[in-house]
Amino acid sequence: MADLDAQLREHLDPIGGWAPTLLRRAAVLCPLLHHDGADHLLLGLRPADSATHPGQIAFPGGKLEGSEEPLETALRECQEEVGMPPAGVVPLGQLPPRESTSRFYVHCIVARVAPFELQLAPREVDRAIYVPLDELQDPTRWRDLPPPHHATPAGAPTSPHFRQGDDVIWGLTGRFVRDLVDRLARAR
C-alpha cells in the first residue's frame, strides 16, 4: 500500500488549480482504498432515472461551485454522494483533465481513502462498486468500444471498456481509469 502510494505520487501530475477552458468545470475523486484485503477503486452506479448519465458508472464528483479549487469540489461531492469524510482523504496527485460528452472539463484527483461507512445519496448513487486494482491492471480485461447507443450523443468516440460481472466501466470514467492504469504500468 505505501509503495503503491509512493509510486502514484511520483507518476501522477501535481494537484493544481483549474486548467484554462471555456467549458464548464467539474472534478471527480478517484478513491483508492483497502477493501477485502486488497486495493480497490470505489465507483458508483448512477440511478437509472438520473437526469445526467443515467445508469452509468462514475467516480464521485461534480461541478464547480463558487470559487472552489478542483480538490475542494471533489471532496465536497464525495461527502455529498457517498458520505466520504474529507479528513480521511490523502490526495496523491491528479490525472490529466479530460472533456466529457456533456461539455464539462473534468479534473480527476487520485487519493488514498481511509475506511469509512458508506452513506449513499439515493438521487446521486444507486449502489457502490468496488473494483480490485489488480484486475484493472490486467490489459486483457480492457476493450476499446463505442458507447452504448442509448447513453451518448451520436458520433461519440470509442472509449476503454472494463467489465466486472454485469457492470461496465466506460466513457470518461473508463478513460480516467485507463490513464491511472497506464501511469502504474510506467511506474514498474
Q: What is the pLDDT of residues 71-117, one digit of tens each?
A: 999 999 999 999 999 999 999 999 999 999 889 999 999 999 999 99
What's the order of all strands across the beta sheet hosting 159-164? 142-145, 159-164, 167-169
Q: Where are the domains of the chain?
A: 2-132
What's the pLDDT at 74? Answer: 98
Give the Cα-Cα-Cα angle 96, 118, 55 (nearest 5 degrees): 60
Mean local confidence (pLDDT), 134-147? 94
Strand, coil or helix: what is 117?
Answer: coil
Q: What is the pLDDT of residues 14-73, one digit of tens each?
A: 999 999 999 999 999 999 999 999 999 999 999 988 777 778 999 999 999 999 999 999
CA trace torsion 100, 162, 3, 17 (10° rounding):
0
Mean local confidence (pLDDT), 128-132? 97
Neighbours of 115 (CB within 10 A): 8
Write down the mean pLDDT value for the chain. Answer: 93
What's the pLDDT at 151? Answer: 59
What's the pLDDT at 102? Answer: 86
CA distance 127 to 20: 33
Instruction: Estimate to the nearest angstrom the gap between the alpha carbon of 141 and the chain centroid.
Output: 18
Check: CB of residue 126 under 8 Å from CB of residue 45: yes
What's the pLDDT at 62? Answer: 94
Residue environment code for 78-99, b if the CB has 16+ CB neighbours within 10 A, otherwise e:
bbbbbebeeeebebbbbbebee
What's the pLDDT at 101? Answer: 84
Q: Domain 2-132 adopts which CATH fold?
A: Nucleoside Triphosphate Pyrophosphohydrolase (3.90.79)
